[in-house]
């Protein structure tokens, strides 16, 4: 196992290199360029040239890439062209809020989605199953901005159960548990909105995987042993049916760190997604590159974690 | 009193294609320590018969339409599910055709045997584990103390079937149902597994129902044979008599399709025609369309079993009085 992880980490090196290449050149292909956000029709061409020189944008593109990569290796993600802040610091500053939101919605999707999927599978073609199927199709189909704004309209503006946006009020003075409750009220809606699609797909995966597992010969064996139906489902079938669910789990890990651009924007959540949306508006190329890179690189440990989890669940998989 | 008495059992399936009479009014009895063979082609209802006795028929499509299964003096079909669970894997065990897929791939062999022991024998984990090793030894698995920790995929097909048998034996069963236990195995392994079942039967005095399409297995194992065709028992006889003097035209056909070692035949002999669909049974004798002795009367009305004496029964108009 240790050897396998080392090997995977070594394999990651060329992949990370590829990621930097793609990130950099895709950004370069984008029209406008970083200066587009700084100039006005009245800017003189000398001023433009000076700015270009200052940022090194007049150098050949390969040199620019090399310079960027050199700094990157030393942990320097560059500086925002918009406000001059260190990009990595900006990202790390936003990370906790994003993680709070994404991890909450992630845990919610799996903790709720898997049991619902199991229910659907064990009550196949019942009213409950049809209800959940309809629910999941709606969940997958509704765009998050629509769902988010609908939630704000109903639960924040009409019913006034939850605040419309943000992450805590500047006027709130409570501490401890009260502060926790205060923050929780801000978390509920964005977390639900973010969960909906993920929960729906987890549920569908868990359902079909469970149905397939329940048709296996070893399930009949478990019943022939005299096990109660609960033990058959939750002990013998669940572990087997989780294998495909782990795949979505692994695939979702990068999203945890990428944040949710749209959900965060809709709810004014001060996380990385909002940082990204603002960076797009500001033509802040450095910040966008930093965010893209950061998220893309996290795919690798995500996949590794999923592979390790496979072997934890399925003894036939050994590395 | 017999250990098992099946009376007029009917198991039907209700699907979009109609009503499938998989098991249609069959009766037989089985004494302790004896072996009943059930033989027939695919789809004749032999597996459904065994699943009915275990009450493991998928109730979303299948239903017991009548009859009784008296096991140890109690009608299994009337037991509440909880009581049935106590019986399954304990006094009433079953092993299946596919040893490759009948064990759960994500649990160790020891866990899967222990589970049954903890459930039925009230053992704790440690005792159950110890007993699992003993059971593995009993079914002839070498190095049981090491094998107990392994997962099914680390074992060969024959070894897995032995594990299945060990698991089935964990509750000291009075009746073991073996549904094609050797079909998926190599011929040499087949012989070993059959020998194992026989010696365990002697040791534990259990009754066995062996279900197979292989007449060789029947000859090897069974004291008595039920020949099934399209949901019916068409002939019942002590094994020796059945082989020496088959009565029913279907049984005769089956016997004739065994290749003879003396004969240098170009082609294997087969029974002409196909088994009728479960959803579209002939009104009279179900074998009539394939029977060389069939006459007009055969297809008119259902034919009952005729007792011939010496424990023999046959479902054929030619033997009716």
**CA nearest B47: which of B86, B4, B98?**
B98
Give DSSP secondary structure letters for A44-60: -HHHHHHHHHHHTTTS-
Q: Is A318 within 8 Å of chain B by CB?
A: no
- Across the interface, whether the CB atoms of A223 and B56 are under 8 A apart is answered yes
Query: Has residue A37 got a pLDDT over 70?
Result: no
Which pLDDT belongs to residue B148? Answer: 93
Question: pLDDT band at residue B321, thresholds of 50, 70 and 90?
Answer: low
Spatial contact of B47 and B209, defined as CB atoms under 8 Å apart: no
pLDDT tens digits, one per residue of A67-115:
888 888 888 888 887 888 888 899 898 888 888 888 899 899 999 999 9
**CA nearest B13: which of B51, B53, B55, B65?**
B65
Question: pLDDT band at residue A38, thresholds of 50, 70 and 90?
Answer: low
Mean pLDDT of B243-251: 91
Q: Which residue of B has its CA nearest to A311?
A: B106
Chain A contacts of B120, Cβ < 8 Å? 226
- Across the interface, whether the CB atoms of B102 and A218 are under 8 A apart is answered yes
Which pLDDT belongs to residue B210? Answer: 94
Question: pLDDT band at residue B241, thresholds of 50, 70 and 90?
Answer: very high
ipTM for the complex shown: 0.86
Which pLDDT belongs to residue B206? Answer: 93
Residue B259 or residue A288, greater confidence: A288
Query: Has residue B42 got a pLDDT over 90?
Result: no
Backbone angles phi, psi at A243, to 5 degrees: -55, -50
Which pLDDT belongs to residue B24? Answer: 87
Q: Which residue of A has its CA nearest to B94?
A: A224
Backbone angles phi, psi at B71, to 5 degrees: -120, 120
Coil, strand or helix at B28:
strand
Coil, strand or helix at B184:
coil
Mean pLDDT of chain A: 85
Cα separation of B10 and B79, whole Å?
Answer: 17
Which pLDDT belongs to residue B236? Answer: 93
Mean pLDDT of B71-94: 91
Mean pLDDT of chain B: 88
Spatial contact of B54 and A224, defined as CB atoms under 8 Å apart: yes
Query: Has residue A192 got a pLDDT over 80?
Result: yes
CB atoms within 10 A of CB B152: 24
Q: In Å, how far is B196's CA from the nearest CA of chain A?
A: 20
* Chain centroid, CA A157 distance in Å: 28
pLDDT tens digits, one per residue of A273-298:
899 998 888 888 888 888 888 888 88
Question: pLDDT band at residue B37, thresholds of 50, 70 and 90?
Answer: very high
**CA nearest B159: which of B229, B102, B223, B207?**
B102
Cα separation of A289 and A283, whole Å?
Answer: 11
Chain B contacts of A239, Cβ < 8 Å? 106-107
Mutation site, B57, B93, B106, B178, interface A, largest A CB count within 10 A:
B106
Q: Is A211 within 8 Å of chain B by CB?
A: no
Q: How many beta-carbon pairs under 8 angstroms link A with B? A: 69
Mean pLDDT of A186-209: 90
Q: Domain-by-domain residue ranges, chain A?
A: 20-73, 100-313
Question: pLDDT band at residue B296, thresholds of 50, 70 and 90?
Answer: confident
Q: In Å, how far is A261's CA from the nearest CA of chain B?
A: 39
Mean pLDDT of A232-241: 91
Q: How many residues are listed for chain A in this entry?
A: 319
pLDDT tens digits, one per residue of B94-105:
998 888 889 999
Query: Has residue A258 got a pLDDT over 70?
Result: no
Chain B contacts of A314, Cβ < 8 Å? 105-106
Which pLDDT belongs to residue A133? Answer: 93
Instruction: Give residues with Cβ within 8 angstroms of B92, minimum separation 6.
Output: B53, B54, B71, B173, B174, B175, B177
Mean pLDDT of B39-55: 88
Q: Is A314 within 8 Å of chain B by CB?
A: yes
Backbone angles phi, psi at B320, to 5 degrees: -75, 145
Q: Which of A175-179, A287-291, B50-54, B314-318 has the lowest mean pLDDT?
A: A175-179
Report the percent of chain A where pLDDT is more than 70.
97
Mean pLDDT of B310-318: 88
Question: Residue A224 is nearest to which of B89, B104, B119, comparing CB atoms?
Answer: B89
Q: In Å, how far is A240's CA from the nearest CA of chain B?
A: 7
Question: Residue A227 is nearest to which of B103, B119, B151, comparing CB atoms?
Answer: B119
B204: tokens are 């534990």
Chain A contacts of B56, Cβ < 8 Å? 220, 223-224
Alpha-carbon distances of B198 from A43, B73, B206, B237, rounded to whole Å? 98, 25, 10, 20
Mean pLDDT of A173-188: 80
Spatial contact of B257 and B271, defined as CB atoms under 8 Å apart: yes
Question: pLDDT band at residue B190, thresholds of 50, 70 and 90?
Answer: confident
Question: pLDDT band at residue B25, thresholds of 50, 70 and 90?
Answer: confident
Task: Using DSSP bridges, classify how beta strands B18-30 and B4-15 pair: parallel, antiparallel or unpaired.
Answer: antiparallel
Q: In Å, how far is B15's CA from the nearest CA of chain A?
A: 14
Q: Which of A38-52, A225-239, B207-221 has the lowest mean pLDDT?
A: A38-52
Cα separation of B302 and B21, whole Å?
Answer: 14
Question: pLDDT band at residue A163, thresholds of 50, 70 and 90?
Answer: confident
B21: tokens are 């009479």
Which pLDDT belongs to residue A36? Answer: 67
CATH of A100-313, one of 3.40.50.150, 1.10.3720.10, 3.40.50.300, 3.20.20.20: 1.10.3720.10
Mean pLDDT of A188-216: 91
Query: Has residue A179 got a pLDDT over 70?
Result: yes
A133: tokens are 């199927």
């Amino acid at each position: 196992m240790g050897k396998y992880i080392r090997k995977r980490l070594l394999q990651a090196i060329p992949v990370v290199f590829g990621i930097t290449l793609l990130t950099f050149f895709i950004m370069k292909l984008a029209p406008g360029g970083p200066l587009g956000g700084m100039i006005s029709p009245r800017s003189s061409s000398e001023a433009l040239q000076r700015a270009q020189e200052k940022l090194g944008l007049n150098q050949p593109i390969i040199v620019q890439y090399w310079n960027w990569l050199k700094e990157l290796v030393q942990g320097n993600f560059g500086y925002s062209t918009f406000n001059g802040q260190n990009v990595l610091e900006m990202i790390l500053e936003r990370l906790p809020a994003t993680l709070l939101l994404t991890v909450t919605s992630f845990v919610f999707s799996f903790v709720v989605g898997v049991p619902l999927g199991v229910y659907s599978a064990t009550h196949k073609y019942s009213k409950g199953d049809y209800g959940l199927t309809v629910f999941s199709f709606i969940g997958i189909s509704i765009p998050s901005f629509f769902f988010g704004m609908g939630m704000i309209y109903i639960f924040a503006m009409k019913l006034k159960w939850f605040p419309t946006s943000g992450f805590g009020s500047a006027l709130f003075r409570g501490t401890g548990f009260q502060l926790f409750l205060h923050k929780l009220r801000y978390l509920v809606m964005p977390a639900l909105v973010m969960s909906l699609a993920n929960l729906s797909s987890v549920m569908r995966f868990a359902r079909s995987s469970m149905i397939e597992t329940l048709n296996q010969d070893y399930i009949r064996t478990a019943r022939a042993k005299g096990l109660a139906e609960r033990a058959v489902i939750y002990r013998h079938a669940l572990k087997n049916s989780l294998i495909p669910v782990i795949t979505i789990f692994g695939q979702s890990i990068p999203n945890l760190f990428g944040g949710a651009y749209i959900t965060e924007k809709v709810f004014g959540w001060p996380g990385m997604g909002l940082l990204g949306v603002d960076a797009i508006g500001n033509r802040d190329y450095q910040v966008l590159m930093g965010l893209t890179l950061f998220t893309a690189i996290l795919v690798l440990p995500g996949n590794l974690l999923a592979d390790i989890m496979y072997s934890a669940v399925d003894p036939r998989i050994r590395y | 009193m017999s250990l098992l008495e099946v009376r007029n059992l009917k198991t039907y399936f209700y699907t979009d294609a109609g009503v499938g009479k998989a098991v249609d009014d069959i009766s037989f009895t089985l004494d302790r320590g004896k072996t009943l063979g059930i033989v027939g082609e695919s789809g004749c209802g032999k597996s459904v018969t065994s699943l009915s006795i275990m009450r493991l028929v998928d109730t979303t499509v299948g239903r017991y339409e009548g009859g009784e299964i008296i096991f140890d003096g109690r009608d299994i079909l009337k037991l509440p599910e909880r009581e049935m669970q106590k019986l399954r894997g304990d006094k009433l065990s079953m092993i299946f055709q596919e040893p490759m897929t009948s064990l759960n791939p994500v649990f160790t062999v020891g866990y899967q045997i222990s589970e049954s022991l903890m459930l039925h024998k009230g053992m704790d984990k440690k005792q159950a584990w110890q007993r699992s090793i003993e059971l593995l030894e009993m079914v002839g698995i070498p190095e049981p103390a090491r094998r107990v920790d392994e997962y099914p995929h680390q074992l060969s097909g024959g070894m897995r079937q032995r594990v299945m048998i060990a698991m089935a034996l964990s509750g000291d069963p009075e009746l073991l149902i073996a549904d094609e236990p050797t079909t998926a195995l190599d011929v040499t392994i087949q012989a070993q597994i059959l020998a194992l079942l026989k010696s365990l039967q002697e040791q534990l005095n259990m009754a066995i129902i062996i279900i197979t399409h292989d007449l060789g297995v029947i000859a090897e194992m069974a004291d008595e044979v039920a020949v099934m065709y399209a949901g019916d028992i068409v002939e019942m006889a002590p094994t020796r008599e059945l082989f020496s003097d088959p009565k029913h035209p279907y049984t005769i056909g089956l016997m004739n399709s065994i290749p003879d070692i003396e004969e240098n035949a170009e082609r294997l002999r087969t029974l002409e025609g196909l088994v009728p669909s479960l959803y579209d049974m002939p009104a009279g004798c179900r074998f009539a369309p394939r029977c060389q002795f069939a006459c007009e009367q055969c297809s008119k009305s259902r034919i009952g079993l005729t007792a011939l004496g010496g424990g023999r029964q046959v479902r054929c108009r030619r033997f009716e009085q």
